Structure 1
Amino acid sequence: MEFSLPDELVELRDRVDVFIRDEVIPYENDPRQEYHGPTDGLRLELVEKARAAGLLTPNGPTEYGGGGLDYRSMAVVFEAAGYSTLGALALNIQAPDEGNTHLLNVVATDAQKERWLRPLVEAKIRSVFSMTEPDGGAGSDPSLMKTTAKQDGDEYVITGRKWLITGAPGAAFNIIMARTEDEKGNDLGATMFLADMDEPGIELVRLLDTMDSNSPGGHGIMDYKELRVHKDNVLGEVGKGFRYAQVRLAPARMTHCMRWLGAARRAHDIATQYARERHAFGKRIGEHEGIGYMLADNENELHLCRLSIWHACWLLDQGEQARQETSMSKVFCSEALGRVVDRSVQVLGGKGITAETVVERIYRDIRAFRIYDGPSEVHRWAQARHILGRN
């Protein structure tokens, strides 16, 4: 594994750094950043700035207008973008669109790519990924999925409820996971379907009030009431939905880690600057061991998170599934970066719990990282099974 960065990647990272500092951070207090996330008007304004700078969708396939970065390069660029709470949105690398871009590129037909992937890469539209269900349905255990898709001739009729669906208001299309039955009622397994959000049978029930507020539209509850989807809009093969979910989720764990590494580094930088300037008991507070040790712990964990991310990304670039390594990285980064931000709040003292800095916002947003794409406990459980099953 090579740790040095090629010159072109360093140049791209530096361009993103400057873009985030000069063009994106000034928008962090924009009134269009509402309770349930940034408005689409704000998103589109930032997207156009990234487009003009040649930084839009750096991860997307080149044939559809993206930058075509490999995972190692994504780790560097996504961290730089994550330095602002609006950075991923500006570069069109936010969840769930980033994960859906990857999934469509790997699984979709050419016709599906033209219809949905191209405008997604061009940041003309947003998308959602509908898998999680309310209590009693699919969550950490996807085998409990209650949403059904029953075959009716050339169509599938989808019925069920999904929740915590990120970005539902204003999204253009939907990737829906449902347990599939043929016309005789035989269980065919889970399948993914593509559907435009304005199709009859799709209803946004309501938005959920959540701690985090970094996704356009927030998180919603979706009902599917006899939604009819033509067989041409099945994503991949019938019955292989869980396999495709792994295609999407393993890399998505890493992109979460990348973005949140940038956010935690921002919180640490703000706390460090404060520790240099604030005086108490005759010297700068950073010179007191209690504060200095917290800053040192932050540096340690930021460094280890970066190494973990880079290693897992290197494995993905070698064609490995890297399920264990991406899972380990997700658990470690989600918890370590949470600690970094928590210490940053503590260093800032009273200022840290106010909106006078962005650290308070990062603190609220990053807490969800330990739950999204699998809570830490489920990852540890899967890791333990892997450990016990080794020869």
Structure 2
Amino acid sequence: MTKKMWRNEVKYLTPYVPGKPIEDVRRELGLDEVIRLASNENPIGPSPVALRAMSEALKDSWLYPEPSCRELREKLGVKYDVSADKIIVANGADHIITLIGNAYINSGDEVIYCKPTFTSYREITLLMGGIPIEIPLNKDFEADLNGILNAITSKTKLIFICNPNNPTGTVVKNDELESFLNQVPDGVLVILDEAYAEYISINGYRSGIDFVKKGYPVITIRTFSKFYGLAGVRIGYAVSSEAYLEPLLAVKQTFSVNRIAIAGALAALDDIEFLNKMLLELYEEKERLTIELQKMGFVVINSQANFLFVDMKQEVSTLFNKLMKKGILIRPCSPWSLKTFSRITIGTFDQNNSLINALKEIQQEMLSVK
């Protein structure tokens, strides 16, 4: 009887399944320590400067936050050389995706994206009564831009491109992206989800913000969850022309971003020395972990994010369970119908060593059984 009361669209939704919580693994297996390399969190955590700023902000937690996040928008505007009015701040990048759906998708509108990718694009489309049009990634696990262009119809409203893509870590080449944007017809808005953009190591790579500044019909999404290590306080933002952001402001909740998150984001932007050191460590560990995984016979796809997309040449579910019993969590890609693939977050030196040693032990155990 209860389900008869639901909105029709809700029946088609699949709840997002995040990486297994550390707390659950500790309780289920009686482990004191669990290393989670499954959710693409920054293992180093926030800048100490950001931690102090957030602690100080707690003193004013009885006050409502400034609803437009003006100070943060102005600081981001200086960083990217855009007007603060071209920036909207919300409760994480996934909240921005929700706002875009609420603001733009009508029943029957088509929304195109490549698959596998972040599942929120599908869910918000279905929730708003839209029609998801899913195009497979190409053979290199990159977005098939020609496939997207060929799928555009008179009903197309939005195109989502996750760049770098989750779960593959691949990016679209700059010249291909600009050529693609030049071919997108009027009335179709392109959403560039750049949650991992700060990790891109390609010299001269142009971000979605660059295309916004050139006047393309683009909304680019960024977050403080990954690079800045603020996933727990939930804060993200979008950059676009004022005209494209106007309906997002209309549907956005008044106090969607809390004071502690705003304080942390403001301070995190200033600690350049910490960010540079952290990024250098990540690049070094990504290279080291890639080499070690390849030595074990796994295939590692070139990633421009803070995680690796790995073909482990076996059903990952079994490997996942064996690693979990050793207190290490990775992300099986079976929800994306990639049963032999996993997504592995780049950890600290010690965390990566634990993973490498655990995988070697498992391989040795499997050989001894044979």
Q: TM-score range by the shorter chain?
A: under 0.3
Query: How high is the TM-score relative to the length of structure 1?
Result: 0.26
RCO higher in 1 or 2 (8 Å CA, sep ≥ 6)?
2
The structure that is helix-richer by fraction is 1
